[in-house]
Amino acid sequence: MPRRLVLLLAAIAHAGPALAACGPAAVDFTAPVPLKAVPVSVGLGGDRVLLGRQGERIAARNQPVWVDETGDPLPRTWMDKVDWSAYRLDNVSRAPARLYFDGDGRLCRAESYELPRRGDGPPFLSGGYTLEYDGAGALTRVVEYEQTAVRRPATYEASGQACLKRDARGALTAFTNEACEDKQQPAAGRFYARDAAGRLLRAIDIAAQGGAFQVQTYDAQGKPDQRYVRRHSPGDGARSYAHVAHASPDSRPYPVHREELNQLSTEVPGNDWRIVSIADDVPLDDTDMQSWNPDTQTILAQGVTDAQGRALLAADAQARVWQAMRDKPGRIFWYSDLMSRVLLLPAMDEARWRACADPANQAADACD
């Protein structure tokens, strides 16, 4: 048997008496733990890379579970992927962290300790995490505890938590960083819209007070499809618009509704303006700035701002520009003058955005 596997099994064997299971994450953090501590030589979190169970490199983080803004939409973890047997210490008094596992090898609790500099006192518990699982062994809750005051005996309180909610099939429906039992306040986090068969349709990011601000859709094969965002209007910070996200970070998105195309304003009278379509084969953010060359552009509308600084479009020009915005999203630009431009994007109507951002909506075409 490989030595690493022997050490790992030994660590689990010492994890707790009588195969004790992880309890609830909400606990008195000073109460005795009915599991045996596994002292390790590395602290929790921070900027370090640890050895994984398969010999891979695992980057430690300052939280046990999180979601990335892009990429895999599901929550990610790191503590369960580390080969802790490689860091086990025999001397608990020199361990900056202690881990507690249940009989199935699940991490139940992780404690951080402050070590005295001259070894003239016992390690001091500074905080840590408790982890909770459902009957199928899936992680459902993580609570972080911190010391509330510098005093002896120390007291601790929950300073944060992450909640993972699942449906009857065990499929994840929500990941939040709010109190799991708080039904009064709207939860902030990532929510998952699934069809009746459990297939992921959309990952929806929601702010506590501002509602949904991003929706990532997925195709029938589970691959990322179109992404939608909601942002404040560049011309009016009190208003917000939802629209298809654009990959170029330098394009200055300017979402508008169809009826607002005749309200484009620079607030500067007498400026030459134009609305153009960039050819499909021209990159938008290359260092040569090819897309700024008029030879790569097709003019859809142009004129001079009036005395109030407005760029007035005739009805036929509005129809032409709107159709181009829908046919070629991400390639229609309004030049308010020769050196300034914004990316015109068709804004979603409110009913469509609400349907798109509703985790309970099982329609695959909710955002279309």
What average pLDDT does the segment 128-140 reach? 94
More confident residue, 21 or 94: 94
What average pLDDT does the segment 173-188 reach? 76
| Contact assessment for residue 134 and residue 140, using Cβ atoms and an 8 Å cutoff | yes
**Is residue 185 scored above 70 in pLDDT?**
no
**Is residue 247 scored above 80 in pLDDT?**
no
CA–CA distance, 261 with 216 (Å, rounded to integer): 27
**Is residue 178 scored above 80 in pLDDT?**
no
More confident residue, 210 or 285: 285
In the structure, what pLDDT confidence band is assigned to residue 182 with cuts at 50, 70 and 90? Answer: low
Average pLDDT of the chain? Answer: 88
Q: DSSP string covering 72-116, please?
A: --S-EESGGGB-GGGGB-S-GGG-SEEEEE-TTS-EEEEEEEEPP
**Is residue 358 scored above 90 in pLDDT?**
yes
What average pLDDT does the segment 238-255 reach? 80
What average pLDDT does the segment 175-185 reach? 73
**Is residue 5 scored above 60 in pLDDT?**
no
Length of the chain: 368
What average pLDDT does the segment 258-264 reach? 90
Q: Which long-range contacts (CB under 8 A, 24 or more apart) does 97-100 make?
A: 97/39, 97/40, 97/42, 97/43, 97/44, 97/128, 98/37, 98/38, 98/39, 98/40, 99/37, 99/38, 99/40, 100/15, 100/16, 100/33, 100/35, 100/36, 100/37, 100/38
What average pLDDT does the segment 78-101 reach? 95
**Is residue 163 scored above 90 in pLDDT?**
yes
In the structure, what pLDDT confidence band is assigned to residue 177 with cuts at 50, 70 and 90? Answer: confident
pLDDT of residue 72: 87
pLDDT of residue 106: 94
What average pLDDT does the segment 200-223 reach? 92
| Contact assessment for residue 355 and residue 266, using Cβ atoms and an 8 Å cutoff | no
HSE of 148, CA atoms in CB hemisphere, 13 A: 9
**Is residue 187 scored above 60 in pLDDT?**
yes
Helix (H, G, I), strand (E, B) or coil at 321: helix
Helix (H) or strand (E) holding 57: strand 57-59
CA–CA distance, 124 with 120 (Å, rounded to integer): 12
At 346, give phi and psi (nearest 5°). Answer: -70, 120
Instruction: State how beta strands 340-346 and 253-256 pair.
Output: parallel
CA–CA distance, 134 with 132 (Å, rounded to integer): 7
What average pLDDT does the segment 30-58 reach? 93
CA–CA distance, 162 with 189 (Å, rounded to integer): 9
**Is residue 188 scored above 50 in pLDDT?**
yes
- pLDDT, one tens digit per residue, over 326-352 is 999 899 999 999 899 999 999 999 999
pLDDT of residue 132: 95
**Is residue 10 scored above 50 in pLDDT?**
no
pTM beyond 0.75: the answer is: yes
In the structure, what pLDDT confidence band is assigned to residue 222 with cuts at 50, 70 and 90? Answer: very high
CA–CA distance, 112 with 95 (Å, rounded to integer): 9
Which residues, 6+ apart, have CB-to-CB distance to 111 below 8 Å? 37, 97, 98, 99, 100, 125, 127, 128
| Contact assessment for residue 283 and residue 291, using Cβ atoms and an 8 Å cutoff | yes
Residue 304 vs residues 87, 252, 255, 334, 340: alpha-carbon distances, Å: 70, 22, 22, 13, 14
| Contact assessment for residue 176 and residue 197, using Cβ atoms and an 8 Å cutoff | no
pLDDT of residue 6: 35
Q: Any idea which of 88-92, 150-154, 284-288 has the lowest mean pLDDT? A: 150-154
More confident residue, 150 or 83: 83
In the structure, what pLDDT confidence band is assigned to residue 119 with cuts at 50, 70 and 90? Answer: low
Both tokens assigned to 76: 């990610």
In the structure, what pLDDT confidence band is assigned to residue 2 with cuts at 50, 70 and 90? Answer: very low
CA–CA distance, 19 with 101 (Å, rounded to integer): 9
pLDDT of residue 198: 93
CA–CA distance, 141 with 136 (Å, rounded to integer): 14
Both tokens assigned to 44: 């929790």
Q: Which letter does DSSP use for residue 248 in this model?
A: -
Q: Any idea which of 5-9, 135-139, 319-323 has the lowest mean pLDDT? A: 5-9
AA letter at 29: F
pLDDT of residue 56: 97
